[in-house]
Structure 1
Amino acid sequence: MDMESALAGIVRAGRAPDLHGVVVVRHGDLIFEYYGEGPDVAWSGPLGTVTFGPGTLHDLRSVTKSVVGLLYGMALADGQVPEPEEPLLAQFPEYPDLAGRTELTVEHALTMTLGLEWDESAPYTSAANSEIAMELAPDRYRYVLERPIAEEPGRTWRYCGGASTLVGGLIAKGTGMPLEDFARSALFEPLGITAFEWAFGDDGVAAAASGLRLTPRDLARIGHYVLESGDPWLARMLRPYVAIADDFHYGYQWYLGTGWFGGFGNGGQRLYVRPDLDLVVAVTAGQYNLPDQSTPTVVLDEVVLPALAAS
């Protein structure tokens, strides 16, 4: 069965709820895309019912983190940010009272192994969620860096939007440009991405953990760049530095599985890359904050991959 028929059947059966968009790129060619219709929200609030299409921007939520990991390597190539092995607090001399935390490195931020007390299990509408508390704090970087150390840094992966915030801050410091401007000049414009939005906190700083909005086509374009560019940073970025679960690891802001790598975002946002198939899949959905966000997995496992296997 082809992708169009398979996806239509799954959508009709209600097995891919809140699906907003699917883009499939293979061997660099766009081979399939789908756009739905339904209610959507952004950082700014409800967007109402949206009819999605190729030019519709969509929240990427935490897939933003993976884009920021890629941007770090671009800044590093120009000597604008520190090597991952360098001390983290040394890059934030404006907080001399925290300088004693010499065990923390930039790599601990890149791999979410800071060992800090951090919990994003509460809803993203609540200040009990560490990321929301960070956004409400007068200084996002101090908020992260002064969290109590709960375990030895470098040993355990703990989901932490604060880690991504620090990475974004290092990029802005090193390049002398706001994160969104560096992204535009270093990544988006060279790839032909002309439309994007980035949500800002009350302090006017782009949210490195979850604020980027792109079209699914342009998200897939970034995935194809990571797949094909040959940039030496990518081998470092996609190394399995820390285990999350069996056969599931984390690199520098990217998830790694057996034969694939990608970015995940709240609500069912997904960038999925399979090098062995020369395949990139971008999925957007509206399952924000729901306990079941399986729509992208259903699309991948029951539509895209079976159709390719049968072709």
Structure 2
Amino acid sequence: MKNITILVSRLLMVCNSFGQKIDSSELDAAILKADSIITTDNRVFFKNVESIIVYSDGEIKFEKYYNGFKKDSLHQIQSQTKSIVALLMGIAIDKGFVKSENEPVSKYFPEYFNNENELKKTVTIRDLLTMSAGFEWEEMLPFDDPKNDNMNMFRSGKWLNYALTRSMAKKPFTEFKYNSGNPMIVAGIIEKATKMKLKNFAVKYLFEPLQIKDYRWLEDQTGFCHAGGGLHLKPMDMMKIGILVMNEGKWLNQQLISEHWITKATSSYMPTSFDISTYGYYWWIRDRNLTNGKSTKIMSAEGAGGQKLYIFPEYNLIIAFTERNYSTPQVSPIFIQESILPILE
């Protein structure tokens, strides 16, 4: 298979040998078919695909870049940033900077969480991680809608402050409500607990061990990193995140994140307001039916426009797409549904 990245293949851990098997020839055929369609089909959503990387049974099986996008190009991973922030919180807990995700947010920001009402004082880090903090928040609206809190937060220039000052609408941990302000608060807690900027903490404890050398992180006027969607990475470096998660937090001979935290982060806590998915700690969880009558778990980090990292832990398989399909159909869900699920036994 062309475009195999030899260097990365040598670095990656071979996954759990007890996983289900995939017919390699069927997987190759599915990839080649997708590659051919993306290369030759002139429909706009195929022209908006930028990269596909497939990792299977301990090696990079396929890596290709499309439509002017290059291997070394940094790509804004959008809300996949949230999934990485959840991993960083796990590291902060593992290393004792934060006691646990069950701590109240008021411990770190008492000036915002003790002066309003009793309900807000009960919000925990776990509630932030599961999009169930209960804040008044609307972002599933057009970008130009004046009620779009995500855009209002961005325009404020003080993202953490905007997120912290929201009023309560629901009791925490009772309802999923997608809120890109929540990871801002998680990032703020990491910074307060570690006395490090979020990006510096990420570099020291995650990026350097994974040999992620090139990145860019969007910051507001205070120098605070956009923890909800502002990280730019190379697609292959995002694949490393997927391999780390599938390997239960281990990279080579190093346990970068505890297996306990990875299990927590990729467990289902409540249904989302989108499709059949449930939600972990900023990771999406789905049980998908297979043609043999069985089902399989898929864990994913997802960002607007088609930034998708799909992990099939039972099959030692990871598939990563980057796209520019913000207002057009995304290609990766079609590929998963029509080409990958049917070949899983």
Task: Bin the TM-score by the shorter chain.
Answer: 0.7 to 0.9
Choose the corresponding residue for 1:286, options 324, 329, 333: 324
Instruction: Measure how far apart 1:242 and its partner are.
Output: 1.2
Other structure's SS at 1:153 match: coil
CA pair 177-197 structure 1, distance change in 2 beyond 3 A: same
Q: Does 1:78 align with 2:104?
A: no
CA deviation profile, 1:239-262 (whole Å, cap 9, x unmatched): 111111674210111100111101
Q: Which residue of 1 aligns with 2:301?
A: 263
Matching residue's letter, 1:224: I
Q: Which residue of 2 aligns with 1:113?
A: 132
Share of identical aligned residues, percent? 32
Q: Which residue of 2 aligns with 1:235?
A: 263
Aligned pair count? 294
Other structure's SS at 2:98 match: coil
Q: Which residue of 1 aligns with 2:63?
A: 33
Which of 1 and 2 has greater Rg? 2
Unaligned runs of 5+ in 2: 1-28, 250-258, 288-296
CA deviation profile, 1:96-116 (whole Å, cap 9, x unmatched): 534742221111101010111
Instruction: Measure how far apart 1:65 and its partner are.
Output: 0.4
Choose the corresponding residue for 2:206, options 171, 181, 187: 187
Q: Distance in 1 between matches of 2:174 and 2:30?
A: 44
Instruction: Measure how far apart 1:176 and its partner are.
Output: 1.1
Q: Distance in 2 between matches of 1:124 and 1:168?
A: 24
Instruction: Measure how far apart 1:17 and its partner are.
Output: 4.2
Q: Distance in 2 between matches of 1:200 and 1:126?
A: 23
Q: Does 1:58 align with 2:94?
A: no
Instruction: Measure how far apart 1:88 and its partner are.
Output: 1.3
Other structure's SS at 2:242 match: helix
Choose the corresponding residue for 1:97, options 111, 115, 119: 115
Aligned-residue Cα RMSD (Å) equals 2.1
Matching residue's letter, 2:333: T
CA pair 149-134 structure 1, distance change in 2 beyond 3 A: same
Q: Which residue of 2 aligns with 1:171?
A: 190
Bigger shift: residues 190-199 or 82-91: 82-91
Q: Which residue of 2 aligns with 1:199?
A: 218
CA pair 268-6 structure 1, distance change in 2 beyond 3 A: closer
Q: Which residue of 2 aligns with 1:152?
A: 171
TM-score (norm 2): 0.79
Bigger shift: residues 162-171 or 14-23: 14-23
Unaligned runs of 5+ in 1: 38-50
Q: Which residue of 2 aligns with 1:298?
A: 334
Matching residue's letter, 1:152: K
TM-score (norm 1): 0.87
